[in-house]
């Protein structure tokens, strides 16, 4: 296969892309790098995936982490985002680590979902919460459907939305 591809523009800046070669991840970008005219890596974006096989013959792929690095002589920056999913592939957590060499710039967003598997409803947001690095709740949205309690749904008609900021 074609594991690595490179393109150099008129300025002499090269973009190098490395793609996965496995059956499950084949063709998915693993790393994108930008090299300056001296051939030094100045930017790197990488993606980490996980694969699931819910039933024989079916492979599902989802992103679980992205890293973004800027590499400069005067200083570098490396940020990371990690995500988690529920069994329906809905996001349940997004952890933005900010600069990985610094503590205190992290942010966490969590999601819960209104579901009714018997009716095939699995992805209506029920609660979204944003937390600061210390775990303090900063903002929250709660959505109720069909005049039912939180997390329950029959048709998917929003009947109440409550937003709170700086709780």
Q: What pLDDT score does 167 carry?
A: 61
Q: What pLDDT score does 113 carry?
A: 98
Q: What pLDDT score does 144 carry?
A: 98
pTM reported for the whole predicted model: 0.86
Q: What pLDDT score does 2 carry?
A: 79
What stretch of H or E contains 76? strand 75-85
CA distance 16 to 11: 15
Q: Which residues contact 13 (CB under 8 A, 6 or more apart)?
A: 34, 35, 36, 37
Q: What pLDDT score does 57 carry?
A: 87
Side-by-side strand order, sheet with 60-72: 4-8, 14-19, 29-35, 41-52, 60-72, 75-85, 91-99, 107-116, 121-131, 137-145, 158-165
CA distance 90 to 128: 12
Q: What pLDDT score does 70 carry?
A: 96
Q: What pLDDT score does 34 carry?
A: 97
Residues of the chain with pLDDT under 50: none
Q: What pLDDT score does 59 carry?
A: 87
CA distance 134 to 95: 13
């Amino acid at each position: 296969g074609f594991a690595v591809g490179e393109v150099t523009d008129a300025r002499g800046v090269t973009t190098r892309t490395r793609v996965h070669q496995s059956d499950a991840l084949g063709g998915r970008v693993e790393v994108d790098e930008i090299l300056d005219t001296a051939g030094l890596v100045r930017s790197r974006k990488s993606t980490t995936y996980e694969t699931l096989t819910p039933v024989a013959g079916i492979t599902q792929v989802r992103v679980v982490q992205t890293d973004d690095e800027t590499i400069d002589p005067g200083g570098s920056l490396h940020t990371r985002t990690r995500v988690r999913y529920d069994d329906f592939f809905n996001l349940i957590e997004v952890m933005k680590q900010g600069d990985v060499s610094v503590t205190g710039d992290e942010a966490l967003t969590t999601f819960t979902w209104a579901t009714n598997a018997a009716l095939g409803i699995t992805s209506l947001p029920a609660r979204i919460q944003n937390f600061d690095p210390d775990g303090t709740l900063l903002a929250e949205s709660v959505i109720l459907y069909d005049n039912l309690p939180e997390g329950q749904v029959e048709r998917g008609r929003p009947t109440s939305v409550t937003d709170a900021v700086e709780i």
